[in-house]
Amino acid sequence: MYQIDFNHPVSVYFVGIGGCGMSSLAEILTTAGFRVSGSDRSRSVYTDMLESKGITVFYGQRAENITDSIDCAVYTSAVPKDNPEYIALHEKNIPCLTRAQLLGQIMKNYQTPIAVSGTHGKTTTTSMISEILLKAELDPTLSIGGILKAIGGNSRVGSSEYFVAEADEYTNSFLSFFPKIGIILNIEEDHPDFFKDLADIRCSFRKFAELLPADGYLIINNTIPDIKEITKGLPCSVITYGTDPGADYYSSDITYNEVGCPSFTLHSSGHAPRQFSLQVRGEHNVSNALAAVALADLLSIDSKTVAEALHDYSGADRRFEYKGTVGGVTIIDDFAHHPTEISATLKAAAKYPHKTLWCVFQPHTYTRTKALLKEFAEALTLADQVVLADIYPSREPVSLGASLGIHSEMLQHEIQALGKECHYFPTFDEIENFLLENCINGDLLITMGAGDVLKIGEKLLGN
């Protein structure tokens, strides 16, 4: 495998540089003195940020973008083998790394690399941890899967021993990492296009836990079923958190303010009960905060600083993000694209002031929609009114939908069978017109999904 040498910066090309993870690594390398360029299909907030830092971005992926001046290339698992740049790189015998391999090599340059994993909550928990380390003036290097307001982007290059990054299980990416401290937030069935079943996913997380050294730490949610399968025999120290007194860190007395933001008491050995208040909504964020506090205690950050940082944290991009109000209708956007995430978001929304709760959901990938169809339907019934868009294929070919026999209308029928009114429209224009005719003053509208569904709310707001 090609090894990046931070003492001798070279020219690195990113295929798909506009992705959340890729753009943050591109910025880290640029700051370290590497000559960085790359390509993506279209312009985005991430490519705009990269270009503002002097990074060359090609729009459209073409073989002629690959020149002999490139010393190394980086690509993600989403890049197909017939991608013209991928083909050109191999024809020219230019060394290549996956995004995960590069991230793993970057981790080796830090004394305390921290990897945040889990089926859900990685971006929020990584962001909470980032806020804490910044408030404590620990000068961390950060790689986040979303925009964090405190740093005005998704990455930051510091000069301390601390490096914080999300650890994605898809295609076993996180098994290329070298963490000193690992966090496992939850383990659920997802990514059916790669993992065979839940047992396969659990096996992957067990291997991730085994990466931690004897002087390292695993912080893990003890509500994960059969947790000992993940933790038994690990050389590292294990710290648990959860909802019951059997965990090393647990919460009690959860209350919510008038807009659904929780306050709670945290219990842990060696500390008197501590009080925390969050500006992000939902009980799932109490759980995320517990993991962040457990890490902060490991790093000996004082409790006052931790409490202030968590209270200051107002959410990452596309995580229950307030977009605006039009005609008295409040519009929120959320990245939720798994049934558990949908349930958590809609339960949080129920505590937010509203008359009718509308959810415009765009399913993400054909394989996930088919595998979890009934679970999606059950989760979406938590909204008062459901509107479905077509499935966003993401990395999957459009032809796969037909071959699997999956379509948003199938999800519509499942929801209707549960007694919930549900509407489906094949175009965003039709959805927007329907919402304009039916949403009224006082309603709460959430655009939801990991695709481009946020465009609907932005169009309604005139953005």
Give the residue numbers marked as catalytic. Answer: 122-123, 166
418-to-283, 377, 382 alpha-carbon distances in Å: 25, 8, 11
Contact between residue 363 and residue 376 where contact means Cβ atoms under 8 Å apart:
yes
441-to-119, 423, 431 alpha-carbon distances in Å: 36, 20, 18
Contact between residue 321 and residue 334 where contact means Cβ atoms under 8 Å apart:
yes
Closest C-alpha to 220, from 229, 231, 235, 208: 231
Closest C-alpha to 156, from 143, 145, 138, 165: 143
Residue keyed to tokens 């003036």? 137
Burial class (CB in 10 A: 0-12, 13-18, 19+), 153: buried
Spatial distance between the Cα atoms of 457 and 321, rounded to a whole number of angstroms:
11
5-to-12, 103, 106 alpha-carbon distances in Å: 12, 13, 10
SS3 content of the chain, % helix, strand, coil (to 5): 35, 25, 40
Q: Which element (helix H / strand E) includes 414?
A: helix 408-417
Dihedral (C-alpha) 367, 197, 76, 187: value to the nearest 10 degrees? 110
Closest C-alpha to 47, from 19, 88, 11: 19
Q: How is residue 377 written in tokens?
A: 């339907």
How wide is the angle at C-alpha 227 spanned by C-alphas 226 and 228, nearest 5°? 90
> In angstroms, how far is CA 349 from the centroid of its own chain?
19
Contact between residue 414 and residue 339 where contact means Cβ atoms under 8 Å apart:
no
Q: Is the dihedral of CA 218, 221, 224, 227 positive or negative?
A: positive
- Residue 223: count of CB within 10 angstroms of its CB: 14
CA-only gyration radius of the chain, Å: 22
Contact between residue 298 and residue 281 where contact means Cβ atoms under 8 Å apart:
no
Spatial distance between the Cα atoms of 446 and 375, rounded to a whole number of angstroms:
19
